[in-house]
Structure 1
Amino acid sequence: MDLRTLRYFVAVVDEGGITQAARVLFVSQPSLSLAMRRLEDELGVRLFDRSGRRARPTADGARLLGLARQVITEADGARERVRQVAGLEVGRLVVATSTTLAVHPLTPLVAALRGRHPGLEIHVRDAGTAAGTFDLVRSGEAELGVGDVMPPDAGWGRCGLGAEEIVLAASPEFAPGLAEPVARARVANLDLGVVPSDLDSASATATAVASMAGRVRAQCAHRAMLWELVRDGTVATFVGRETAEAVMPWASLRSLDPPLWRDGHLVWREQALSPAGAALVELARGRDEPPGDR
């Protein structure tokens, strides 16, 4: 028994006979008659009372009719749902990243994806570190990830998201004593605040930041708290320039000498992506930029 046969059966009942149903279904009458006989043989019951001019369902046929209508409705609903997911009218996409990369470069990508496909639901998981990002994608808890290091082994897809300059952010009261740019050797003498997970990474950026962070006066698990301490003039901190311009418009920013850059990467396991995942990759490839000048 298949879905097409159930549709044939329902049509015969609704139209009152094989001839009328064959006309509606655009199939030959012999083919439809054969399909109904095979259905009866498969089930081992008579489905139609053929004594009158109309083919009326027997008691067994009536029971099958209710089930058939339910199956057809659910199948049509599933087909429509699949169509909507494939067409990006609906869907759910989970992306993993660390909070240091969430504002930039991930936020513009998510905004662009939602702008094109407003029916999509985007979930962003905080992975803490690049290693955590890879773990969430590897386990299937997230379909895609954004990190600042290359994938750790084979079997990954990757798309570059360009480079963001890492700068020193300080309050207007803290900043007057800072040159532009600030020599990296000078940073070791400043009161700094950090998010510990930013230093717990294999990335070149984290290594460089750790080497400059000589006087860490505040370690905050919550980035928003660190930014408030910077606003109060308690400490300065390292942050991506685009991130700072978006969420810390009050801050005074200083480049480092020599400058420091962080490369972002969109990563995924090399397997079939969902339509939503493929759409995000397509957007990312459209904005794939070479790394900034080092």
Structure 2
Amino acid sequence: MDLRTLRYLVAVVDEGGMTQAARVLFVSQPSLSLAMRRLEDELGVRLFDRSGRGAVPTADGARLVGLARQVIAEADGARERVRQVTNLEVGRLVVATSTTLAVHPLTPLIAALRGRHPGLEVHVRDASTAAGALGMVRSGEAELGVVDVMPPDAGWGWCDLGAEEIVLVASPEFAAGLTEPVARARVAGLDLGVVPSDLDSASAAATAVASMAGRVRAQCAHRAMLWELVRDGTVATFVGRDTAKTVMPWASLRSLDPPLWRDAYLVWREQALSPAGVALVELARGRDELPSER
């Protein structure tokens, strides 16, 4: 018994006979009659009372028709859902990253994806560190990740998202006595605030920041709290330039001497991506065409 045979069965009942159903189904009447005979043989019951004109279902036939309608409806619904997912009319995409990379470069990518495919549901998971994001992608908890290190082993696909300058961010009062740029050796003598997980990355940028953080006066698990401490002039911190311009427009920014840059990569396991995942990768590869988030 297959879905086509069930459709034949329902058509015979709805059209009131083999001849009429064959015409609707665009099959020959003998082929349709043979399919119904084979279905009866397979089930071991008579499905139609053939004593009169037409095809009147028996009690067993009527019960099977009811079940067939349910199966056909569910199959058609599943087919429609697959079509919608394939065409990005609906769908769900999970991306893992750290909050340091969420504002830039991920936000404009997600905004562009949702703008083109408003039916998509996007979940961005905070993985704290690059290792955490890679782990979530490896385990299947997330489909893609945004990280500041290259994937550590084979079996990964990746796309370069470019580099963002890491700058010293402070309140205008705190920054009043700082030159532009600020020598890295000078930073070690400043009161600084950090998010501890930012220093756990294996990236060159995180290693450089850790080497400059000589006087850490505030360690905050919550980034928003750290930014408020910076606003109050209690500490300075390190933030990507594009990120700082977006979320800390009140801040004074100082480049470092020598300058410090952080690379970002979109990564995924080398296997079949969902249509939504493919769409995000395509946007990332053509990110120069995206509108600026500022």
TM-score by length of 1: 0.97
In 2: Cα distance, 1:67 partner to 1:243 partner: 57
Q: Distance in 2 between matches of 1:108 and 1:137?
A: 21
Structure 2 residue 82 is matched with structure 1 residue 82: yes
Aligned to 1:166: 166
Secondary structure at 1:177 match in 2: coil
Contact persistence 2:109–2:287 (CA under 8 A): no
Check whether the contact 2:155–2:270 (CA below 8 A) recurs between aligned residues: yes
Superposition RMSD on alpha carbons, in Å?
0.9
8 Å Cα contact 2:12/2:18 also seen in 1: yes
Residue 272 of structure 1: SS of its match in structure 2? coil
Gaps (5+ residues) in structure 2?
290-294
Within 1, Cα distance between the matches of 2:288 and 2:60?
63
Aligned to 1:110: 110
1:156 partnered with 2:156: yes
Partner SS, residue 70 of structure 2: helix
CA–CA distance in 2 between the matches of 1:78 and 1:10? 19
Q: How many residues align?
A: 289
Deviation at 1:51, TM superposition (A): 1.2
1:39 equivalent in alignment to 2:45? no
Q: How does 1:232-251 map to 2 (within 5 A)?
A: 232-251=232-251
Q: Which amino acid aligns with 1:104?
A: H
Shift of 1:53: 1.1
CA contact (8 A) 1:172 1:251 kept: yes
Residue 292 (structure 1) aligns with: none
Identity %: 90
| 1:52 CA displacement | 1.3
Q: Which amino acid aligns with 2:195?
A: V
Question: Do the aligned residues in 1 keep the contact of 2:187 with 2:212 (CA within 8 Å)?
Answer: yes
Q: CA deviation at 1:288?
A: 6.8
CA distance in 1, matches of 2:197, 2:101: 12
Mapped contact 1:92–1:276 kept (Cα < 8 A): yes
Q: Give the residue type in structure 1 aligned to 2:248.
A: M
Note if 1:147 corresponds to 2:147: yes
Q: Which residue of 2 aligns with 1:17?
A: 17
SS of alignment partner, residue 67 of structure 1: helix
Q: How high is the TM-score relative to the length of structure 2?
A: 0.97
Rounded Cα–Cα distance in structure 2 between residues aligned with 1:35 and 1:245? 70
Return the alpha-carbon distance in structure 1 between the equivalents of residues 38 and 127 of structure 2.
57
Deviation of 1:17 (Å): 0.5
Letter in 1 for 2:83: R
Q: Which segments of structure 1 move beyond 4 Å, counting only runs of 4 or more?
A: none
* Counterpart secondary structure, 2:253: strand
What's the counterpart of residue 261 of structure 1?
261
Partner of 1:231: 231
Aligned to 2:137: 137
Q: How does 1:66-77 map to 2 (within 5 A)?
A: 66-77=66-77
Aligned to 2:292: none
Q: Name the structure 2 match of 1:95.
A: 95
What is the DSSP-based 3-state SS (H/G/I as helix, E as strand, rest coil) of the residue aligned with 2:142? Answer: coil
Whether the aligned pair in 1 keeps the contact of 2:195 and 2:226 (CA below 8 Å) is: yes
Distance 1:282 1:56 in 2: 56
Does the CA-based 8 Å contact 1:162-1:288 persist in structure 2? no
